[in-house]
Amino acid sequence: MAASRPRVAILFGGVSTEHDVSVVSGASIARSIDTDRFDPVYVGITKEGRWLLGDGAFDALRGGGTEGVEPVILSPDPQHKGFVHIESGRLTGVDVVFPVLHGPRGEDGTVQGLLELAGIAYVGCDTLASAVAMDKDVTKRILAQRGIPVVKGTCLTKWMWGVDRGEILSEIAQTLKPPFFVKPATMGSSIGVSKVEDGEELSGAIEHALGFSSKVLVEQAVERALEIEVAVLGNNEPKASVCGQIIPKAAFYDFNAKYVDGTSELVIPARIPKALAQDIQYAAVDAFVAIGGSGMARVDFLVSGAAFYLNEINTIPGFTSISMYPKLWEASGIPYTHLITKLIELAIARHEEKASLTRTIDLLVKA
Ligand SMILES: Nc1ncnc2c1ncn2[C@@H]1O[C@H](COP(=O)(O)OP(=O)(O)O)[C@@H](O)[C@H]1O
Ligand SMILES: [Mg+2]
Mutational test site, ligand 1, from 208, 215, 252, 301, max ligand atoms within 8 Å of CB = 252
Q: How far apart are CA 128 and CA 294, in angstroms?
A: 11
- pLDDT, mean of residues 103-119: 93
Q: Say yes or no: CB of residue 169 within 6 Å of ligand 1.
A: no
CB 337, CB 319: distance < 8 Å: no
The confidence score (pLDDT) of residue 315 equals 97
Q: What spacing in Å lies between the alpha carbon of 194 and ligand 1's midpoint?
A: 9
pLDDT tens string 116-159: 999 999 999 999 999 999 999 999 999 999 999 999 999 999 99
Q: What spacing in Å lies between the alpha carbon of 360 and ligand 2's midpoint?
A: 41
pTM over 0.85: yes
The confidence score (pLDDT) of residue 26 equals 96
Read off the pLDDT band of 261 (50, 70, 90). low
Read off the pLDDT band of 1 (50, 70, 90). very low
Ligand with the closest atom to the CA of 180: 1
The confidence score (pLDDT) of residue 366 equals 58
The confidence score (pLDDT) of residue 311 equals 97
Q: Say yes or no: CB of residue 227 within 6 Å of ligand 1.
A: yes
Task: Name the residue at shortest CA distance from atom 25 of ligand 1.
Answer: 253
pLDDT tens string 283-316: 999 999 999 999 999 999 999 999 999 999 999 9
- pLDDT, mean of residues 43-52: 96
Count, residues in the chain: 367
The confidence score (pLDDT) of residue 92 equals 97
pLDDT tens string 244-256: 999 987 777 777 7
Q: Say yes or no: CB of residue 219 within 6 Å of ligand 1.
A: yes
Q: How far apart are CA 9 and CA 167, in angstroms?
A: 50
Q: What spacing in Å lies between the alpha carbon of 225 and ligand 1's midpoint?
A: 10
For residue 367, is pLDDT > 70? no
Mutational test site, ligand 1, from 18, 172, 193, 265, max ligand atoms within 8 Å of CB = 193
Q: What spacing in Å lies between the alpha carbon of 167 and ligand 1's midpoint?
A: 25
CB 165, CB 203: distance < 8 Å: yes
Q: How far apart are CA 161 and CA 88, in angstroms?
A: 50
pLDDT tens string 68-106: 999 999 999 999 999 999 999 999 999 999 999 998 899
- pLDDT, mean of residues 23-49: 97
Stronger pLDDT, 338 or 20, i.e. the higher one: 338
- pLDDT, mean of residues 231-235: 98
Q: How far apart are CA 46 and CA 201, in angstroms?
A: 36
Region of 3 (left: φ > 0; alpha: ψ -120 to 50; beta: rest) is alpha
CB 22, CB 101: distance < 8 Å: yes
The confidence score (pLDDT) of residue 362 equals 65
User: Which amino acid belongs to residue 302?
Assistant: L
For residue 3, is pLDDT > 60? no
Mutational test site, ligand 1, from 190, 196, 217, 301, max ligand atoms within 8 Å of CB = 190
Is the Cα dihedral 50, 56, 61, 65 positive or negative? negative
Task: Name the residue at shortest CA distance from atom 14 of ligand 1.
Answer: 190
The confidence score (pLDDT) of residue 112 equals 98
The confidence score (pLDDT) of residue 191 equals 83
* All structural domains of the chain: 2-122 (3.40.50.20), 152-220 (3.30.1490.20), 226-354 (3.30.470.20)
The confidence score (pLDDT) of residue 2 equals 44
The confidence score (pLDDT) of residue 365 equals 59
Q: What is the mean pLDDT of the chain?
A: 93
pLDDT tens string 167-185: 999 999 999 999 999 999 9
